[in-house]
Amino acid sequence: MDRFLFLTFDGLSTGAVYAAFALALVLIWRAARLVNFAQGAMAVATAYVGYAVVSVTGSYWLGLGAAVLAGLALGALVERVLMRFVGHANPLNDVIVALGLVLLIQAVLGIVFGNEYRPAAAPFDTDALTVGGIAAMSPYDLWVLGAVLVVVALLGLLFTRTPIGLRMRASAFAPEVSRLLGVNVGRMLTVGWALAAAVGALAGMLVVPTGLGLHPHAMDLVFVVAFTAAVVGGLDSPAGAVVGGLLVGLILSYVTGYLGPDTTPLAVLVLLLAVLLVRPGGLFSSVRARHV
């Protein structure tokens, strides 16, 4: 029972990171109808920026801020100079260009920072607190969970309560009608990419200290898991991304805990396959009558 509880807490905190990462994927999917396969590499790049600032200033918080700002800038840059010019008629074009971007980013990071693992310090203690004799979450886990929940809440407010959120949703659903109503749809797309990359940067900064270390390929498996989480929740649904992330985190935690860490990558793929077979739209997909 203790072990089950421990695995549950552990699953929730890693799941929170997957949730943030899946949320980044969902943001771009909703804005541009493409899966950003470069999300992981972009997050690693911003984490390098973040930890460069940490090592210069000694402050994790300044580093976190720098990483998020770098994410905003990188997301806008990628959309403006690259993705805007990709022909979206064939979805494969987006995938190939994004994979090319992954290679580019990883090569540049390798050249600039080297290809070895760099330790990355966590701002809080990563040892689990014991509550009533049971190893529960560590302070760091709590920070991760809290940070992700706050970001999700802020994004929810942004999309439902602000004019720019309304513009972004309208642009995503009906670009032509939105233009006729005076919305600069191209700019909304840039904002969407910037926001998504900033959320990705946050996820990167949160996941790197959890034993992953900083490395150009640090996010490769995390990306696959987050993609699974986004598909589990439904690529269209921010709430689905969060639930999907936590769910996948829990499942993987149980699998790793009871069956051993070697089975984890396999479990991810089995889960992805199962969701695609049973409910391809994701758990939170809503069947909507779309007008023609």
Partner 1 sequence: MTAILEVEALSSGYGPVPVLRDVTFSVPTGSIAAVLGANGAGKTTLLRTLSGLLRPTGGRVRYDGADLRGVRVEHLVRRGLAHVPEGRGIVAELTVEENLRLGGLWRRDRADARRAQDEVYQLFEPLARRRRHAGHQLSGGERQMLALGRALIARPRLLLLDEPSLGLAPRVTAQIMALLRRLCDSDGLTVLLVEQNVRSALSVADQGVVMSLGRVVTATPAAQLRDDVTLRHAYLGF
Binding residues (CB under 8 A) for partner 1: these are: 163, 166-167, 169-170, 173-174, 176-185, 288-292
Q: Spell out where the chain has E strands.
A: 130-131, 134-135
The nearer residue to partner 1, 278 or 291, going by C-beta atoms, is 291
The nearer residue to partner 1, 278 or 287, going by C-beta atoms, is 287
Cα torsion through 267, 271, 273, 279, rounded to 10: 170
Measured from the CB of residue 182, what is the shortest distance to partner 1 in angstroms? 4
Q: What residues pair up with 134 in beta bridges, in sequence order?
A: 131
Measured from the CB of residue 175, what is the shortest distance to partner 1 in angstroms? 10
Structure-token match 């690529």, residue found? 235
Output DSSP code: residue 146: H
Measured from the CB of residue 186, what is the shortest distance to partner 1 in angstroms? 9
Q: What is the DSSP string of 55-106?
A: HHH--HHHHHHHHHHHHHHHHHHHHHHTGGGS-TTSHHHHHHHHHHHHHHHH
The nearer residue to partner 1, 107 or 177, going by C-beta atoms, is 177
Measured from the CB of residue 172, what is the shortest distance to partner 1 in angstroms? 9
The nearer residue to partner 1, 106 or 178, going by C-beta atoms, is 178
The nearer residue to partner 1, 181 or 266, going by C-beta atoms, is 181
Q: Which pair of structure tokens corresponds to residue 179?
A: 């233009």
- Long-range CB pairs of 165-171, under 8 A, 24+ apart, other chains included: 168/31, 168/192, 169/30, 171/31
The nearer residue to partner 1, 180 or 278, going by C-beta atoms, is 180
Measured from the CB of residue 176, what is the shortest distance to partner 1 in angstroms? 7
Measured from the CB of residue 133, what is the shortest distance to partner 1 in angstroms? 49
